[in-house]
Structure 1
Amino acid sequence: MAEENPAIGKSIKTGEFNTNYLEAGEDKGGTPVILMHGSGPGVTAYANWRGIIPILSEHFHVLAPDMVGFGYSDRPEGIEFNCQVWADQTYAFMQAKGIEKAHLVGNSFGGSNAIRLTTDHPEAVERLVLMGSMGVDFPIVEGEGLDTIWGYEPSVENMAQAIRTMAWGDELAQNENLAETRYKASIEPGFHESFSAMFPAPRQRWVQSQITDADKIRGIKQETLVIHGREDQVIPLSTSYALHQMIDRADLQVFAHCGHWVQIEREADFAQSLINFFNRKEVA
């Protein structure tokens, strides 16, 4: 019998295509939590959130969709991938699931998509978490950081380098099983073809494509938690400082000895921060 793939969850129609998603804690009630993944090679909602979903689902109804073009959601021919498409997909996902309002947690490019959804449909968002988030301008350095991640070509060695770029220290990069597993995920049928077509060089333009107008960001009224790893080599800490200043009701939390994978490198602390944030009484 073939081994079940934990990244393949349920499927639901979102606009013109189908979205694969994971769901847990359906019996918890309250405001659902939607987890929006980043844009690394071979990424899926499962790869991004597999350690966090079981913890959060003890407290909340948790949903984690694969963005269109990623994971096991559809890869429609001729689609132009951009922030608006991914934000619209998430809103369509909420509508398809009958969710009127949710907490959003956005990681990296998932953060910029969460920002866009919040500014487009503020009535649909209760509280907002931005972790190592895009959404404002920053310079890409050729051959480093995000340029390395978006320029990934499949091999175990290149995946280990991508992990080294994502994480603080070498522990995760030296985990041969992790590099091998993520490499295999990156070469699933259609995965690399769609990934390499999304962010071709020169890549600065794709950073710009994820930006939401500054005045719209300043108009965000939701309580917001901005989280960043101090040693993040992919998205500079300055982006979270900027978002913290722009969003009136934003708190900022910076994790030491931590790179771009806060949800992995500081899993328990990150999960507890979310639990506390979503459960606390509203701050005026």
Structure 2
Amino acid sequence: MPTKNAEVTSRDVRLAEVTYRVHSTGDPSMTPLLLLHGSGPGATGTSNWKAVIEELGDRYYCIAPDMIGFGDSTHLTDPPRGMKALNAIQARTLFELLDALEVSGPITLVGNSMGGMISLEMALLDGDRVGKMLLMGSGGAPDLPVTEGLQHLFGFYADPTPASMKKLLSSFVYDIDVLGDKVDEVVDERMPYIQRSDIKRSHAAMFDPGAPKPGFTAQEMATIGHKVLCVHGRDDIIVPVESSTWLAKNLPDASLHIIPRTGHWTQIEAHDTFIFLLESLVAGKL
């Protein structure tokens, strides 16, 4: 029976311009997966992906870095304004990270929310190095409405308290009871990051209201011929399901799987379904 508790190892990988904190499971000889987290306050590679990479670590080489501007990876002293500009830096340096890790050949990208947008940026930047993509609750559709959940996320530092973080986390899931005691664990994990001045600086720059809105054009999506699976919780109140519907319509080889009674974190609320979909995609069964 597959193990569900592979050990997560964490280390810093220094590149020419930035340093990535990289969390991983599995052996580098296994099929690699690059898992990219979202943009929530205090988000890290492990806060999004720990349960997933623990389960998959006996079958895949799982790489879940803290994004530039998050966690213990580099926080730029003069970060660009807006998510789109930061995503471009993240995409470029993630390829450099793969070089440093000696990961060659097309790699499967697994992106949650902002991580889905970074995955698309990587495919546009160097499509030959990208294999299949699973985009989970991904942004990227143009002219999406700013949901109440996103408004709370953008303006989190108006009230950066544990109570506010707990309220924000409740909007990431359809049923807060699914998280159980993990809510307090996630709050405790994220608050030390949230209180750091470099993380606050990165957050303010990324969500600068004067910056251009992030998103892609249909013409850009038409150039991405990769196999893509868009997964979205039907009841997502952070990024509406219409975002994945638009992506699936405009990406030439994309499929769409909508999960009922599920919010923004399908990897948590619908964990077994998410694992099944990801492994089916990698195996070429979708």
TM-score by length of 2: 0.87
Conserved? CA contact 1:160–1:173, under 8 Å:
no
RMSD: 2.2
Aligned-pair CA distance for 1:14: 3.0
Q: For 1:29 and 1:7, how far apart are their aligned partners in 2?
A: 15
Runs of 4+ with >6 A deviation? none
Are 2:127 and 1:119 aligned?
A: no
Measured against aligned partners, the alpha-carbon deviations of 1:8-38 in whole angstroms (never above 9, x if no partner) come to 81111233011111121115523x1000110
**Equivalent residue number for residue 22 of structure 1:** 23
Aligned-pair CA distance for 1:236: 0.9
Matches for 1:224-239 after TM superposition, within 5 Å = 224-239=228-243
1:93 pairs, out of 83, 90, 97, with 97
Are 2:198 and 1:193 aligned?
A: no
User: Unpaired segments of 5 or more residues in structure 1?
Assistant: 1-5
Conserved? CA contact 2:42–2:194, under 8 Å:
yes
Matched letter for residue 217 of structure 1: M
Conserved? CA contact 2:8–2:25, under 8 Å:
no
**Equivalent residue number for residue 164 of structure 2:** 158
Q: Would you say how many aligned residue pairs link Structure 1 and Structure 2?
A: 271
Q: For 1:237 and 1:251, how far apart are their aligned partners in 2?
A: 14
Measured against aligned partners, the alpha-carbon deviations of 1:149-200 in whole angstroms (never above 9, x if no partner) come to 1211210110011111111123248844443433344224633332233213
**TM-aligned CA distance change 1:76 to 1:184, over 3 Å:** closer
Matched letter for residue 149 of structure 1: L
**Equivalent residue number for residue 11 of structure 2:** 10
Q: For 1:238 and 1:218, how far apart are their aligned partners in 2?
A: 18
Matched letter for residue 248 of structure 2: H
Q: For 2:33 and 2:76, how far apart are their aligned partners in 1?
A: 27
SS in 1 for 2:280: helix
**Equivalent residue number for residue 104 of structure 1:** 109
Identical residues among aligned pairs (%): 27
Conserved? CA contact 2:41–2:156, under 8 Å:
yes
**TM-aligned CA distance change 1:193 to 1:79, over 3 Å:** closer
Conserved? CA contact 1:10–1:22, under 8 Å:
yes
**Equivalent residue number for residue 60 of structure 2:** 60
Conserved? CA contact 2:231–2:256, under 8 Å:
yes
**Equivalent residue number for residue 169 of structure 1:** 175
Q: For 1:56 and 1:138, how far apart are their aligned partners in 2?
A: 36
Matches for 1:112-151 after TM superposition, within 5 Å = 112-141=117-146, 144-151=148-155
**Equivalent residue number for residue 3 of structure 1:** none
**TM-aligned CA distance change 1:200 to 1:140, over 3 Å:** farther
Conserved? CA contact 1:8–1:20, under 8 Å:
no
SS in 2 for 1:251: strand
Matches for 1:176-187 after TM superposition, within 5 Å = 176-187=184-195
Conserved? CA contact 2:113–2:136, under 8 Å:
yes
Q: For 1:173 and 1:42, how far apart are their aligned partners in 2?
A: 20
SS in 2 for 1:69: coil
Q: For 1:27 and 1:224, how far apart are their aligned partners in 2?
A: 24
TM-score by length of 1: 0.88
Q: For 1:257 and 1:38, how far apart are their aligned partners in 2?
A: 21
Q: For 2:78 and 2:146, how far apart are their aligned partners in 1?
A: 30
Conserved? CA contact 1:112–1:135, under 8 Å:
yes
Aligned-pair CA distance for 1:141: 3.5
**TM-aligned CA distance change 1:254 to 1:28, over 3 Å:** farther
